[in-house]
């Protein structure tokens, strides 16, 4: 494991004089091991190194991918870590070589970077970046290097972001600068869930006007996919979830039909086929369950149906009969909604401001960082869409 170098550099007058260049001691929720509650600890956050930015995190959402790492993936090597990847904050200080950010800027940490120089960044067909943790440490879900220590141990930065901490440090290729008047306790959701589901519909599926869509799973990701289908002009959006409490929000965001798979004895793909005279044009899996991924594919129309895997898992293989694809369906996956992160997130913030996308509808709970385990429990039991944690209350 690499230990953080406590690099210091001369203070410039534009830096936050009180803390710039120094180690900051602050509160963070540490996941010491899989399958156990997070512990609020005092951690040390090193100053930003070359090309890095230290951010005071103001607000963060809790996403199912945090729960996946803690309870489902359980990659031992990915601990101890500070979870959280759906945050927004304010630049506290910047390291040498950072020219596009200054203390006081409002920012969103990005779990996929956009370096601008790699083969992926230069290709308009993908939002991957060679310098993202996703390219090198996929199984461990964290950055190889970390700026955090606690009780003498290096604490990993989950998804490179670690927003369940009052301060975090990221390379500037993984930070989006957003407008000064952005509401941080809303736009934090653009750091993951909403951009992911919305982009999966508009960028990856490329939902067309008048089409018939089905969205499986109505957490924030699935509800954002519903919103994407609606904004793309779908004529019918079938919302599928085993928890009927989710249907009201889905209706508010544009769903027209509602299906609870538990209420049907036949396969859900047959139910959808009957409802649509042969299958939907686009389906989006927003659960993270390989059986549901198969159902979503099977629910598509032969000839042209497109099914997008959005839910996150690498715990099991998926399977389907080859005839599904031979018959002309397309099966695709989507990471962060296909958005090139640094370019797109500031624009999505403006889309929220103009009313093109809704974020308020997704926020069902607000809590202080100390209650993070309650927020996790709420998501586990399906009792929330998004809980916003106040990380550094003003
Ligand atoms: P969530 O837990 O809030 O929502 C999941 C929903 O799926 C719940 O409403 C649940 O009732 C429903 N569900 C469970 N089993 C179902 C079934 N068999 N059929 C239909 N619905 C079912 O989660 P979320 O935060 O919205 O995240 C959804 C998924 O997206 C997770 O797997 C998460 O890890 C993944 N994710 C992927 C990316 C990406 O870039 N691809 C990014 C963020 C999140
Ligand atoms: Zn997420």
Segment 120-139, tens digit of pLDDT: 999 999 999 998 877 666 66
Q: Is the pLDDT of residue 1 over 50?
A: no
| Residue 31 exposure: Cα atoms within 13 Å on the Cβ side | 30
Contact 57, 148 (CB under 8 A): no
Closest C-alpha to ligand 1, atom 35: 311
221 CA to centre of ligand 1 in angstroms: 7
Averaged pLDDT of the chain: 93
What percentage of the chain reaches a pLDDT higher than 90?
Answer: 88
Euclidean distance between CA atoms 330 and 343, whole angstroms: 28
Instruction: Tell me 6's DSSP state.
Output: -
Q: Is the pLDDT of residue 269 over 80?
A: yes
Q: Give residue 25's pLDDT.
A: 97
| Residue 322 exposure: Cα atoms within 13 Å on the Cβ side | 0
**The two three-digit tokens of residue 361, written as one number:** 């509808």
DSSP string covering 31-59? E-STTS--EEEEEEEPPP-TTEEEEEEEE
Contact 173, 50 (CB under 8 A): no
Euclidean distance between CA atoms 79 and 101, whole angstroms: 31
Q: In the structure, what pLDDT confidence band is assigned to residue 18 with cuts at 50, 70 and 90?
A: confident
Task: With CA atoms as reference, report the closest residue to 301 among 251, 236, 221, 255.
Answer: 236
pTM for the whole structure: 0.94
Q: Is the pLDDT of residue 374 over 50?
A: yes
| Residue 154 exposure: Cα atoms within 13 Å on the Cβ side | 17
239 CA to centre of ligand 1 in angstroms: 13
Averaged pLDDT for residues 20-33: 96
> Distance of CA 348 to CAs 114, 250, 279, 367, Å?
16, 20, 31, 25
Q: Is the pLDDT of residue 35 over 60?
A: yes
H-helix segments, the chain: 64-67, 133-136, 184-187, 193-199, 220-231, 247-252, 268-276, 290-298, 323-326, 341-354, 372-380
Q: Is the pLDDT of residue 385 over 60?
A: yes
**The two three-digit tokens of residue 326, written as one number:** 């031979």
Q: Which residues, including other chains, have CB under 8 Å from residue 347's CB and lie 6 or more apart?
A: none
Q: In the structure, what pLDDT confidence band is assigned to residue 50 with cuts at 50, 70 and 90?
A: very high
228 CA to centre of ligand 2 in angstroms: 17
Closest C-alpha to ligand 1, atom 4: 219
Pocket of ligand 1 (CB under 6 A): 63-65, 68, 192-193, 196, 216-222, 240-243, 246, 261, 286-289, 292, 310-312, 334-336, 379, 382
The answer to which of 128-137, 233-242, 248-257, 373-382 has the lowest mean pLDDT is 128-137
Closest C-alpha to ligand 1, atom 27: 64
Q: Give residue 3's pLDDT.
A: 39
Residue at token pair 């047959």: 270
210 φ/ψ sector (left φ>0, alpha ψ -120 to 50, else beta): left
CB atoms within 10 A of CB 152: 6
């Amino acid at each position: 494991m690499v230990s953080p170098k406590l690099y210091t550099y001369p203070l410039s007058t534009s830096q936050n004089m009180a803390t710039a260049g120094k180690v900051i001691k602050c509160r963070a929720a540490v996941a010491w091991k899989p399958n156990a509650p997070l512990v609020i600890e005092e951690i040390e956050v090193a100053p930003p190194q070359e090309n890095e930015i230290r951010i005071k995190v103001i607000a963060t959402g809790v996403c199912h991918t945090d729960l996946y790492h803690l309870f489902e993936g359980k990659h031992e090597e990915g601990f101890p870590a500070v979870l959280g990847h759906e945050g927004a904050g304010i630049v506290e200080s910047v390291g040498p070589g950072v020219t596009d950010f200054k203390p006081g800027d409002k920012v969103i940490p990005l779990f996929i970077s956009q370096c601008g120089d790699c083969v992926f960044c230069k290709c308009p067909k993908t939002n991957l970046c060679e310098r993202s943790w996703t390219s090198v440490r996929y199984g461990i879900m964290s950055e190889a290097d970390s700026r955090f220590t606690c009780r003498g141990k290096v604490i990993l930065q989950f998804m490179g972001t670690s927003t369940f901490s009052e301060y975090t440090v990221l390379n500037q290729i993984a930070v989006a600068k957003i407008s000064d008047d952005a509401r941080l306790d809303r736009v934090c959701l653009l750091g993951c869930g909403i951009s992911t589901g919305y982009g999966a519909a508009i960028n990856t599926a490329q939902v067309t006007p008048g089409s018939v869509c089905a969205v499986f799973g109505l957490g924030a990701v699935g509800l954002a996919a519903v919103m994407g289908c609606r904004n793309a002009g779908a004529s019918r959006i079938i919302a599928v979830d085993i928890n009927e409490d989710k249907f009201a929000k889905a209706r508010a965001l544009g769903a027209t039909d509602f299906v609870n798979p538990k209420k049907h004895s036949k396969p859900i793909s047959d139910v959808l086929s009957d409802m649509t005279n042969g299958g939907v044009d686009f389906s989006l899996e927003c659960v993270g369950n390989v059986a549901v991924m198969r159902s979503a594919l099977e629910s598509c129309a032969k000839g042209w149906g497109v099914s997008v895997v959005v839910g996150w898992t690498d715990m099991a293989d998926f399977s389907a009969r080859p005839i599904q694809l031979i018959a002309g369906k397309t099966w695709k996956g989507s990471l962060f909604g296909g958005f090139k992160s640094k370019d797109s997130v500031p624009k999505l913030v403006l889309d929220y401001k103009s009313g093109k996308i809704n974020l308020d509808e997704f926020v069902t709970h607000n809590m202080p960082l100390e209650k993070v385990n309650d927020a996790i429990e709420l998501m586990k039991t399906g009792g929330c869409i998004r809980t916003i944690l106040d990380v550094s209350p003003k």
